[in-house]
A and B are shown apart, each in its own frame.
Chain A
Amino acid sequence: MAMLCRRMLQQFNVGLFRSQWHPVSSSSVPVMGSAKVAYQPEPSEDLTSKENQLEEVLTDLTSEEKHLKEALKHPDFFKVADLFTVEDLFKARVHLGHTDGSLHSNMTPFIFGSRLGHLIIDLDQTADYLRQALNFTAHIAFRGGIILFVCRSPQHQVSVENWAKECGEYAHTRFWYLGTLTNSTVAFGCVTRLPDLLIFLNTLDSGLEQHRGVEAAAKMLIPSVGIVDTNCNPNLITYPVPGNDDSAASINLYCKLFKNAILRGKEKRKELLGL
């Protein structure tokens, strides 16, 4: 159990320290876990290490726990890299950013360039971040986690709710009450299980300020995946995905990809864990 917790923490660490921008290779082969991590448990020869002692003690893991461990060892257990190509992103207009003047300083590493005053997002980077996000989403679904889709643009509200329903998860495309996550017992009137992952199709609210759910998720240590446009701040998001969040084509593409990743995770859950 402790091993599993440590593994999960490792995943979070990979996300939380994302501000240390590592040089991303533009190869099509996904390289998982390439970020520098604070802690990396490897089965070492030294038997006095605490981790090995624990390994020996916990040999009688249930098959469920064994499956969960195995899944985490694989860099792309659910083969999310097969879900899309860079060309799909281009066709869905994911590379189209806002104007030069509205660029957020934290988004500069993701920009390919600018043309006629409009910014172009680097799709190679987007592809890499998107694969990481999809992989994480699939793992959360594999473990029976609650996934909450958040979108605040009026054009896409209803379709996001539909996408969420299709994959058996949840959506919040309405006004965000400040205590939804931080004061859930009062907000819902009963003890509630909080979402295990928040997916932001828009990190900005209707007033072009950052969505309060981003901060709330960070406070409650709930990992978040977020589509960050050129005018957004990716700082508080665990798995930012630089890309266009305004076109219907791009939103539908993201929803489709997340839905497929979630369904793959759930399929594996049924297959391996029988749940």
Chain B
Amino acid sequence: MSSSLFQLFRTGKLIQNGYSVSCKALHSSQQFVKATTAARSQNIASFSTAVSIADGKTPDDQSQKMSKAMKAYMNRAEAHDALMAEETAEYEIGRRHLANIMGEDPETFTDEDRDKAIEYLFPSGLFEPRARPYLKHPSEVFSKRKEAEFDHSGRPFHTLFYTGLPNYFQILHDITERVRELDHFASRMSHYNVALDKDKSLNLSSSEWLTKEEFEIKIIEAMKDYHYEFFIKSMNRLAAHPLSYRAKDFIMDFRKNKPIVKLLQEIPKVMYTAEGVPYMTETGRRKTATATVTVYGRGSGKVTINDKDILYFSNLQDREQILFPLQFCGVLGTVDVVAEVEGGGTTGQSGAIRYAIAMALRSFVDLEMVEKMRLAGLLTRDPRSRERKKPGQKGARAKFTWKKR
């Protein structure tokens, strides 16, 4: 073994594509070992050990032939490592300063403390989180790079290197292999009359596929949209297989859990009066009018607005607006409504009362009806308000009469 390793460093004129460049680069072997930390192939494992064995033992005049490709890679790797070292040192100094400013001990200054400190010292009103100031470790800021893709002679490590997207196409290859495997297993199952177990089938409802950006980061390869779309299509085919649970780990590797979406507004529970009558109070606004409405259950359909009857509103349309949520939920004769409203005009006040009634009724009806109300628009606070008049115009939108001459 050792003899062949030493032969690696002889001045053998290896016939390559005319790309071989002799260079006395053994002194940079240490950086080379650092640069190729993931020993993905036996080639490189043996080479790095060979380097450490050979370092200092080979005479100066013997040079190790390295392909042009490898030389270029090494230069880039060295530059990147130098940059990362510099940035890490600067980050560390900055972090310690920050801890001192906050009066904390730099040793026990966690990442959460650091983020909170930045938010405190540099309050930002910007909406986009990524635009706000931050202090992060360089490994989180600088995107991950691929390690050496080829060895000292220029031979790539990955079989699919020449496709341009080796990791991506390797995944497609794996998907095809899995589907074949599953088909084979299914045929064997049917041969031995083994029934399919429905309970085992994969449940993907609580997760979703990684986005294109997340996928690119995961495999460290930039790709086009059609690459990503084809990947999703292929994965869906695999996931749709009845035996896809056998490939669960592989599939879940490319899925992320959906954030648990709680009801945007948690429906409050009904409260009870001393007599045991269920009621709910809500506030509604429309167009500068504010209404506070209490809906009582076990009622008879009485409506009171500002201590007056429904005839508080002389306009039929306004009265209809108030009754609409009650009629929609089918509780017209079974609930009482007591409303206090001020501000605005007739339309604003009736709209505010309607909104408040609908919001209060959520506590009385089932979720299906709540969803129906939402679709009907009863639970949307109407944001429209009076638009201001602009100078040089007659009104908000209307312009002055245009005269030709």
Which A68-101 residues have a C-beta within 8 angstroms of B?
68
* Contact residues in B for A62 (Cβ distance below 8 Å): 12-13
B-contacting residues, A155-178, CB 8 Å:
157-158, 161, 164-165, 169-172, 174, 177
Nearest B residue to A187 by beta-carbon distance?
B164
Identify which of B19, B76, B173, B177 contacts A193 (C-beta below 8 A): B19
Chain A 145-159 interface 0/1 with B at a Cβ cutoff of 8 Å (1 = within): 010100000000110
- Chain B count of residues within 8 A CB distance of the other chain: 35
Whether a CB of chain A sits under 8 angstroms from the CB of B3 is yes
A1 near B13: Cβ-Cβ < 8 Å? yes
B-facing residues in A213-250 (Cβ within 8 Å) = none
**Which chain B residue shows the least CB distance to A8?**
B15
Q: Mark B175-190, 1 if CB is under 8 A from A, else 0.
A: 0110010000000000
Instruction: Please determine whether A191 and B12 come into contact, CB atoms closer than 8 angstroms.
Output: no
- Partner of B16 from the list A68, A193, A273 (CB cut-off 8 Å) is A193
With A193-B67, A196-B17 already in contact, the answer to whether A172 and B160 are too (CB < 8 A) is: yes
Closest A residue by C-beta to B68: A191
Q: Which of A182-198 contact B (CB under 8 A)?
A: 187-188, 190-196
A273 and B7 CA atoms in complex are apart in Å by 9
Our pick among A148, A158, A196 for the contact of B162 (Cβ within 8 Å) is A148
A4 CB–B CB distance under 8 Å: yes
Contacts of A191 in B (CB 8 A): 68-69, 71-73
A275–B162 touching, CB < 8 Å: no
Contact A158 B176 (CB under 8 A): yes
Band of interface residues on A? 35 or more
A-contacting residues, B1-58, CB 8 Å: 3-4, 7-8, 12-17, 19
Judged by a CB distance under 8 angstroms, whether A109 is at the interface is no
* CB contact under 8 A between A190 and B12, given known A171-B159, A177-B164: no
Residues of chain B contacted by A64 (CB below 8 angstroms) = 12-13
**Chain B hits for A65, CB < 8 A:** 13
Alpha-carbon separation in the docked complex, A175 to B202 (Å): 32
Q: Which residues of A contact B19 (CB under 8 A)?
A: 193
Q: Is the CB of B4 within 8 A of A274?
A: yes
Q: Which residue of B lies closest to A146 (CB)?
A: B155
Is the pair B72, A190 in contact by a Cβ cutoff of 8 Å? yes
Indicate if B163 sits at the interface (CB-CB under 8 A).
yes
Complex: chain A residue closest to B150, CB-CB? A193
Contact B177 A158 (CB under 8 A): yes
Residue contact A170 to B161, C-beta cutoff 8 Å: yes
Of A4, A146, A165, chain B has the most CB atoms within 10 Å of the CB of: A146
When the two chains form their complex, are residues A194 and B17 in contact, meaning their CB atoms are under 8 A apart?
A: yes
| Cβ contacts under 8 Å, A274 to chain B | 3-4, 7
Say whether B163 contacts A174, CB under 8 Å: yes
Residues of B within 8 A of A177 (CB): 164
Q: For the complex, what is the distance from the CA of A253 to the CA of B159, rounded to whole Å? A: 20
Q: Does B91 contact A (CB under 8 A)?
A: no
**Chain A residue with minimal CB distance to B3?**
A274
Q: Which one of B15, B17, B76, B159 lies within 8 Å of A190 (CB-CB)?
A: B76
Cα-based distance from A177 to B165 in the complex (angstroms): 11
Q: Complex formed: what's the CA distance from A121 to B173 in Å?
A: 33
Whether the pair A190, B164 counts as a contact (CB closer than 8 A) is: no
Contacts of A174 in B (CB 8 A): 163, 169
Tell which of B71, B153, B160, B162 has the most Cβ of chain A within 10 Å. Answer: B162
**Do A161 and B173 touch across chains, with their CB atoms under 8 A apart?**
yes
Interface contact B12-A165, CB-CB below 8 Å:
no
In Å, the complex CA distance between A27 and B232 comes to 54
Asked if B156 lies at the interface with its beta carbon under 8 angstroms from chain A, I say yes
A144 on interface, CB distance cutoff 8 Å: yes
| Contact status A164-B159, CB under 8 Å | yes
B278, CB-defined interface residue at 8 Å:
no
A170's partner among B13, B149, B159 (CB-CB below 8 A) is: B159
Interface residue B154 (Cβ < 8 Å from any Cβ of A): yes
Please, how many angstroms separate the alpha-carbon atoms of A174 and B180 in the complex?
Answer: 19
**Considering only CB atoms, which chain A residue lies closest to B226 in the complex?**
A175
Cβ–Cβ contact B163 & A172, under 8 A: yes
A44-67 interface bits toward B, Cβ cutoff 8 Å, 1 = contact, 0 = none: 000000000000000000101100
Compute how far the CA of A275 lies from the CA of B12 in the bound complex, rounded to whole angstroms: 11
Contacts of B162 in A (CB 8 A): 148, 170, 172, 180, 195
B31 CB → nearest A CB, Å: 17
A161 x B153 contact (CB < 8 A): no
Distance between A44 CB and nearest chain B CB, rounded to angstroms: 26
Are B14 and A144 in contact, with the CB atoms below 8 A? yes
Q: Which residue of chain A is the closest to B165 with respect to CB atoms? A: A174
- Chain B residues with CB under 8 Å of A161's CB are 159-160, 173
> Considering only CB atoms, which chain B residue lies closest to A189 in the complex?
B164
What residues on B are CB-neighbors of A193 within 8 Å?
Answer: 16-17, 19, 67-69, 150, 153-155
Q: What are 25 residue pairs bridging A and B, where the CB atoms are less than 8 Å apart in the complex?
A: A4-B15, A64-B12, A65-B13, A144-B15, A146-B156, A148-B162, A157-B176, A158-B173, A158-B177, A158-B180, A169-B159, A170-B156, A170-B161, A172-B163, A187-B164, A188-B164, A190-B73, A191-B71, A191-B72, A193-B68, A193-B69, A193-B150, A193-B154, A275-B7, A275-B8
Q: A4-B15, A62-B13, A194-B17 are in contact. List 17 more A-B contacts (CB 8 A).
A: A68-B15, A143-B15, A144-B155, A158-B176, A170-B156, A171-B160, A174-B163, A174-B169, A180-B164, A190-B72, A191-B68, A191-B69, A193-B68, A193-B69, A274-B3, A275-B4, A275-B14
The 6 lowest CB-CB distance pairs between A and B, nearest first, are A193-B154, A191-B72, A165-B159, A191-B69, A158-B176, A274-B7
Q: Which residues of B contact A (CB under 8 A)?
A: 3-4, 7-8, 12-17, 19, 67-69, 71-73, 76, 149-150, 153-156, 159-164, 169, 173, 176-177, 180
